[in-house]
């Protein structure tokens, strides 16, 4: 299980670093969804989201602050899932694979997230 989680962590980190860098450098062509992406890009939201993608991906790749990296990537995963389910349905299997990788890595560091599920705050 440890090896699978390590592969998932590295794969997830690579995906977010490559696609985050693509958002800045535009080396992968975009298709129909490019109109929506162009609109989001024009608002400046895209740059901020890309920085979070890159930061989370880099943290996973260097294996430092992995829970923080997962936390930074969680909103991006949610947005990508919504985006793919509405605009590019053919990309949904890839997103489900990415989400499975995220879950595997999160399960491996679940102790870091357990305090979030306490019913009451300690004084």
pLDDT greater than 90 at residue 59: yes
Tell me: the pLDDT tens digits for 95-113?
888 999 999 999 999 999 9
Range of the domain at 7: 2-111
Q: Which two tokens stand for residue 48?
A: 């901020």
For residue 89, how many other CB atoms are within 10 A of its CB? 9
Q: Which band of pLDDT confidence, cut at 50, 70 and 90, is reported for residue 123?
A: low
Number of domains in the chain: 1
119 within some domain: no
pTM above threshold 0.85: no
Query: Is 121 within the bounds of a domain?
Result: no
Judged on CB neighbours under 10 Å (0-12, 13-18, 19+), 11 is middle
Residue 118 inside a domain? The answer is no
Identify whether 117 is part of a domain: no
């Amino acid at each position: 299980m440890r090896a699978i989680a390590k592969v998932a962590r590295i794969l997830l980190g690579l995906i977010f670093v490559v696609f985050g860098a693509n958002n800045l450098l535009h080396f992968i062509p975009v298709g129909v969804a490019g109109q929506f992406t162009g609109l989001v890009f024009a608002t400046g939201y895209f740059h901020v989201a890309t920085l979070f993608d890159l930061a989370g991906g880099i943290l996973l790749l260097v294996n430092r602050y992995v829970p923080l990296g997962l936390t930074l990537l969680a909103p991006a995963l949610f947005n990508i899932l919504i985006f793919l389910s509405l605009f590019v349905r053919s990309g949904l299997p890839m997103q489900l694979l990415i989400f499975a990788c995220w879950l595997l890595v999160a399960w491996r560091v679940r102790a870091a997230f357990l305090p979030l599920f306490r019913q009451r705050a300690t004084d």
